Structure 1
């Protein structure tokens, strides 16, 4: 609980977070729409610690601390998912738009030939929790695979497989498109093991030809072009904070 004589006025914090003007934030408080640490605020002038207090508006988490940076990047194929590479290969820091003056590090990995979403941040605790298996952050992939994938294969994948390093149970498997030469399969899972989707498809005799990660929790690729980067939105960041109990 923040000391009432310290901290920042709640309406100022909401305004700085881009939720609303101070006047509109005061109206939200009057309407009982704002919570601090699970309690509805019923009086004006409440002071909070924007770095540690959990603030919600209409039930949605409002991330307020701005000392850290949070980006989502759509990694191209052929780029190593590290910020530097001793072998001189193209890496994340080489992409246009990545702020090299900031000490960013990547959250999780994608193998070099996989494209798609990867997070960049300078928040070590956030990065640790996002990659820790106990938080089970859902990730979705779109795989272009060899051959015609039928319903039997989809059922087998959905039921779960046993790979050389143990069983894997995807959260969902969906056949997007199938033809004689190639098929598109969408797979969502909490697994973070190395090349897990490629190994799953190898095990059912449909090797991956092209693979893209399309979502990390609530963050979706949308219109973000390959090689492009953008800051996480307030809504995305709030949902991710909730997922990893920050």
Structure 2
């Protein structure tokens, strides 16, 4: 791959800037100064440096974001702030996109990548990849709700959800009446699904946070709006969770 193409893809330099860097003797390949930014190198084997800094090329990136409320799960929007606006220029250069969507006011785990095949596997309805949410509910969530969710809930449009696993973490009397804290595992991604499921049983979601998707769990040390690349272990577990051996 051409050096200038690598630098452009990574957002390090434009093609013309790469040419200037090369002419100034600021590009090295395996320790040797290279004056031609159009020279081809093997990104996997050759050691490329620009201005003394090593350049790490890869085709794909995989980022775990703790999505804050008020930000939409999209790549661009004329009015709203998107999750891509939270990323540094270095990562935006890869043209990542969110895998699935979280509502504007929903927090938590969102995977950002430019790997379309992985995204398709995670989102494919046939694979039933589980998604786990923590939620706070206005109303008393009881065993009857656990049973109803286990058998599928009929939503406002007549659709009956696939079985979901509801765990009651805590029930208490709040200032405005009974409240509950729960964990819910679903294997679908219908529009506003969690909120609509609780609405179907006469309750209201007041706080919603996704904490897991497949084998990937939200890093509890990530503050809202923070992100990081997945570790090798997380990548392996994520791939295994989608039935991929690679």
With structure 1 as the length reference, what TM-score do the two structures score?
A: 0.69
Q: Deviations over 1:89-118 (max 9, x none)?
A: 111122154722221111101111111111
Q: Note the C-alpha offset of 1:202.
A: 0.4
Does residue 107 in structure 1 map to residue 99 in structure 2?
yes
Determine the C-alpha separation between the residues in 2 that align with 1:194 and 1:172.
18
Q: Deviations over 1:156-176 (max 9, x none)?
A: 222321222421134411001
- Pairing of 1:218-229 with structure 2 (within 5 A): 218-223=215-220, 224-229=222-227
Larger radius of gyration: 2
Q: Deviations over 1:192-243 (max 9, x none)?
A: 1111100000011111111110101111113222111111121221122223
Q: 5+ residue gaps in structure 1? A: 1-49, 51-64
Secondary structure in 2 matching 1:236: helix
Q: Deviations over 1:136-192 (max 9, x none)?
A: 111000111102222222222223212224211344110011112321111001111
Equivalent of 2:212 in 215, 219, 232: 215
Say if 2:215 and 2:241, in contact at 8 Å, map to a contact too: no
Counterpart in the other structure of 2:199? 202
- Pairing of 1:2-81 with structure 2 (within 5 A): 66-81=58-73
Secondary structure in 1 matching 2:126: helix
How many pairs align? 182
Equivalent of 2:236 in 226, 235, 238: 238
Q: Note the C-alpha offset of 1:133.
A: 0.8
With structure 2 as the length reference, what TM-score do the two structures score?
A: 0.69
Say if 2:216 and 2:237, in contact at 8 Å, map to a contact too: no
Equivalent of 2:132 in 132, 140, 151: 140
Determine the C-alpha separation between the residues in 2 that align with 1:73 and 1:144.
21
Equivalent of 2:190 in 193, 204, 214: 193
Secondary structure in 2 matching 1:168: coil
